[in-house]
Amino acid sequence: MKKTSTYNAETLNGVLRLAELFCGPGGIGLGAKLANVDGLKIKHVWATDYDKDTCETYKRNLNPEAIICEDIRKMDFAKIHSKYGEIDCLTFGFPCNDFSTVGEQKGLHGVFGALYQYCVKALEEFKPKFFIAENVSGLRNANDGEAFNKILEAFKNCGYNIYPNLYHFEEYGVPQKRHRVIIVGIRNDINLKFKIPSTKPYKKVDNSVRTALKDIPEKAPNNELTAQSAMVVERLKYIKEGENAFTAKLPPHLQLNVKGAKISQIYKRLKADEPSYTITGSGGGGTHVYHYKENRALTNRERARIQTFTDDFVFIGSKESVRKQIGMAVPPRGMKIIFEALLNTILGNDYETMEAKV
């Protein structure tokens, strides 16, 4: 008979100890920081990433006990375990480059695809009670579905019951059409079952770009304008809300000479009264994301607003580095909802749920 155990705020001393792999600038981390159910909070113990600016951003805003800026392939998990002790929850947004629907989709056969194996090694070493994994929606279809099934099976074999779901974050009040696979894992000796939080409570939330970009404080960090060439400004004058460089009626001298695929986000304006299209880490060749009315690209603070970072969240690094950090992050507001669903699960609280979409 399988041993079972139940956890609550008292047995956890009011704190859920969190560690992160591939932590990025802190989209998942900020969501965890903002989550708080019945006095049960989440404490950041340690986090890892390989990018220096990203690590500095995470450290500046989330103040973990340790930030380990190192290539995960060189990390000694046993040493980290010995130094920082037990953790209750492990999160990891393992690199999505090889699973993205943009690009070659090499899946498990690409350079980044196999990095999930280090998440498996971490689960085997730390044996946290819970984990939360994040990746792009394309993970489900990479290698004809083989990659997704193999990764899910690996997590199960580590001793976890898993609860995957494709989250459409705009349905949770996020002002952005960002779709991500989130996998919640609960160690299989724990008598708890995670349920997907419902989108119903967020039906009336105004998640429009217009509202997201309102009233940014004059001295908000990372809010510098991007220099626009005269030609870009002139081109934007012809592009209406929701149009891009290929769908707008541009005069010949402003048209782009692009052969093959015409990427829909090139010089694409946002729509004021709808959620944004997906913010990415790129920025060259007309992919900065363009204001719905003004003839310019968004500032990094505006991009961060669309990602739902708070205005006091300061990104460290050059403008280009910050743009990449913001684009690669997970929306904190969406992660807060998922973390609070997990906290409610741990505490045995009822919350509105729905069927999984995978």
Catalytic site positions: 96
Closest CA to 177 of 104, 263, 274: 274
Q: What share of the chain is helix, strand, coil (3-state, %, to 5)?
A: 35, 20, 50
3-state secondary structure (DSSP) of residue 274: coil
Distance of alpha carbon 48 from alpha carbon 29, whole angstroms: 12
Sign (positive or negative) of CA dihedral 302, 304, 306, 312? negative
Measured distance CA(95)–CA(52) in Å, rounded: 16
Task: Say if CB 20 and CB 48 are below 8 A apart.
Answer: yes
Instruction: Report the distance separating Cα 219 and Cα 199, nearest Å.
Output: 34
**Does residue 341 contact residue 194 with C-beta atoms inside 8 Å?**
yes
CA atoms within 13 A on the CB side of 3: 2
> CA-to-CA distance for 310 and 299, rounded, in angstroms?
15
Q: Which two tokens stand for residue 166?
A: 């494709």
CA-based R_g, the chain, Å: 21
